Structure 1
Amino acid sequence: MSTTQYIAEIGLNHLGSAALAEELIAGLIQTEADGITFQIREDKFYDRSDPWTVPIAVDDHGAFRDAIHAGHKKFGLSVGDVTTAKRAGSLAPDFWKVLSFGLSDYDLLDYVSGLGVPVFVSTGNSDYAEIEDAAKRFPRVNFIHTQLSPVAGDVNLKAIQEMRERTGRDVSFGLHLPDLRVLFMALCFGPEAVFFYVKGDDASKTYPDDAHAAALAVAGPLIRDLRQLETAIGTGEKDRA
């Protein structure tokens, strides 16, 4: 039985297009993902210099939420500042993800941790002193071990267990490495959830989360294989054959 949650992150890979967002949702609800996330950034981010810096209206995100719920998946929002979180609060996500640069924004952590739904805080830019301080101040948040590096030697999967021991919280894993096989290794450290980005199948397009994202056609088989191989971890019990 699977104990790890599998979270497919659309993030900003909709490229400012509601139609592409709907296409990604339609594909992901056919997979065994537990949840699907969208990212909403602070106002200054949306300068229209790239497709993903074109904002999608909050009302459209409401339609995305409804489609995700209709597909029996959880709807998550990723944010990095309290102003954006409050504006998006009307969407009532099933869980929040706080982006790496938001871990030090205690107003943000205070707001989302008071909403009564799970909060996952990415730690990609933080050391243990910052993480432990946040854990002490906000007893209802959990953490995501993420290294914002494309190099396998920087992934440091042992930090999942170390962070769990230091904070007493459940710890998840967020992938920022092009080699998707790292997700299978992460399962051996018992993450609460694994977060990975998903992009469209059109390889001619550039996505903000690109090299480390799974193409939509890959996401379904990937999650299926992760669930199947997670069972190989077992319980640790040893019985006579």
Structure 2
Amino acid sequence: MTLHIGANPIGSHSPVYVIAEIGLNHNGDVALAKELIDVAADAGAQAVKFQKRTPAISTPEHMKDVLRSTPWGEMTYLDYRYRVEFNREQYVEIGDHATLRGLDWFASPWDEPSVDFLEDLRVCAYKVASASVTDDALLRRIEATGKPVLLSTGMSTTEQIDRAVSLLDPSTLAVLHATSTYPLPPEEANLRMIPALAERYPGIPIGYSGHERGLQISLAAVALGACIVERHITLDRAMWGSDHAASLEPHGFSTLVRDIRILEEALGDGVKRVFPGELAPLAKLRRVDA
């Protein structure tokens, strides 16, 4: 059975499924979120992704009272988390905007109540953030929805990934190679994990979630077999916020999608043939016929 997210088939014989990770780069501003959705749609992506938290549950205890300087003044980390969360009405507004722009939209829930919140909004899929790979209760709650699941694998051991995969239905699962360094240096990309994951989890689509600067590593991921590519997007990498520096600006993201489409066409099917464009050089240059 082919995995589908929305109307999009996912796999090696389908177009690469490109996800624009908006995450928290909207900085709690619905208008900014809509602008980023437009960036994704104009570039030709298939989906946009957000993050959903219940801050009182998902914020680590040792971080809650840590003070942070923000554009809204100094506040605790917990208060900051509340400040950038969208409520139901805001999610309806941005979700409708994504749908009208022809995009799938979904989110990474960081706690079980956030799964219930997103189920109420009828998201088409779920992304498991790398930080949540070891949260068995969250994985089981996501699995119970029956929706497609994209499992990111950053900051995780092989044994931890194996356990997470064992808790999820392989027929609705895709596994994304990731390294959770922001921004990602090339020496930590470890792209050979893409074919390694494909060998370890046969039949499960393998993708790539990138946090690097530039495009080369994401394009190499496609060449190595990634059938999903997720990248953070922003209007300006200099904006305030933890993920902007590891994000692509509109022109860069548009170029990435364009180059992915060229690359997947160039990869072909692996069947050797004489192409039409070779016939004239063949007639001109080959001296001895087989």
The aligned amino acid for 1:226 is: I
Q: Distance in 2 between matches of 1:164 and 1:81?
A: 28
**In the TM superposition, what is the alpha-carbon distance from 1:180 to its structure 2 partner?**
2.3
Tell me whether 1:8 sits opposite 2:20 in the alignment.
Answer: yes
**In the TM superposition, what is the alpha-carbon distance from 1:160 to its structure 2 partner?**
1.1
Q: Unaligned regions of 5+ residues in structure 2, if any?
A: 1-12, 72-79, 279-290
Q: 1:77 is matched with which residue? A: 107
- What is the number of equivalent residue pairs in this alignment? 240
> Mapping of 1:211-230 within 5 angstroms?
211-230=245-264
Q: Distance in 2 between matches of 1:214 and 1:126?
A: 25
1:43 aligned residue (55, 67, 70) = 55
Q: 1:153 is matched with which residue? A: 187
Q: 1:193 is matched with which residue? A: 228
Cα contact 1:179–1:212 (8 A) shared by 2? no
Q: Unaligned regions of 5+ residues in structure 1, if any?
A: none
Tell me whether 1:92 sits opposite 2:122 in the alignment.
Answer: yes
**In the TM superposition, what is the alpha-carbon distance from 1:65 to its structure 2 partner?**
1.0
Q: Distance in 2 between matches of 1:74 and 1:200?
A: 20
The aligned amino acid for 2:34 is: E
Q: Distance in 2 between matches of 1:205 and 1:211?
A: 8
Q: Distance in 1 between matches of 2:155 and 2:231?
A: 17
TM normalised by structure 1 equals: 0.91
**In the TM superposition, what is the alpha-carbon distance from 1:120 to its structure 2 partner?**
0.4
Q: 2:46 is matched with which residue? A: 34
Does 134-143 or 11-20 show the bigger shift?
Answer: 134-143
Q: Distance in 2 between matches of 1:12 and 1:68?
A: 16
Tell me whether 1:177 sits opposite 2:212 in the alignment.
Answer: yes
Cα contact 2:16–2:260 (8 A) shared by 1? no
RMSD of the alignment, in Å?
A: 2.1
Cα contact 2:48–2:103 (8 A) shared by 1? yes
TM normalised by structure 2 equals: 0.76
Q: 2:286 is matched with which residue? A: none
Q: 2:144 is matched with which residue? A: 114
Cα contact 2:238–2:245 (8 A) shared by 1? no
Q: Distance in 1 between matches of 2:198 and 2:110?
A: 23
Q: 1:21 is matched with which residue? A: 33
Q: Percent identity?
A: 27
**In the TM superposition, what is the alpha-carbon distance from 1:121 to its structure 2 partner?**
1.1
Q: Distance in 1 between matches of 2:238 and 2:155?
A: 31
> Mapping of 1:123-138 within 5 angstroms?
123-138=153-168
The aligned amino acid for 2:52 is: I
Q: Distance in 2 between matches of 1:57 and 1:14?
A: 14
Q: Distance in 2 between matches of 1:120 and 1:215?
A: 24
The aligned amino acid for 1:205 is: M
When residues 204 and 128 of structure 1 are mapped into structure 2, their CA distance, relative to the original with a 3 A threshold, is: closer
**In the TM superposition, what is the alpha-carbon distance from 1:72 to its structure 2 partner?**
1.0
The aligned amino acid for 2:175 is: F
Q: 2:284 is matched with which residue? A: none
Q: 2:285 is matched with which residue? A: none
Q: 2:176 is matched with which residue? A: 144
Q: Which digits, 9 at most, give the CA deviation of each residue in 1:84-114, with x for residues without a partner?
A: 2222321111111111111111221122223
Q: Distance in 2 between matches of 1:70 and 1:115?
A: 24
Q: 1:206 is matched with which residue? A: 240
Q: Distance in 1 between matches of 2:199 and 2:23?
A: 29
**In the TM superposition, what is the alpha-carbon distance from 1:6 to its structure 2 partner?**
0.5
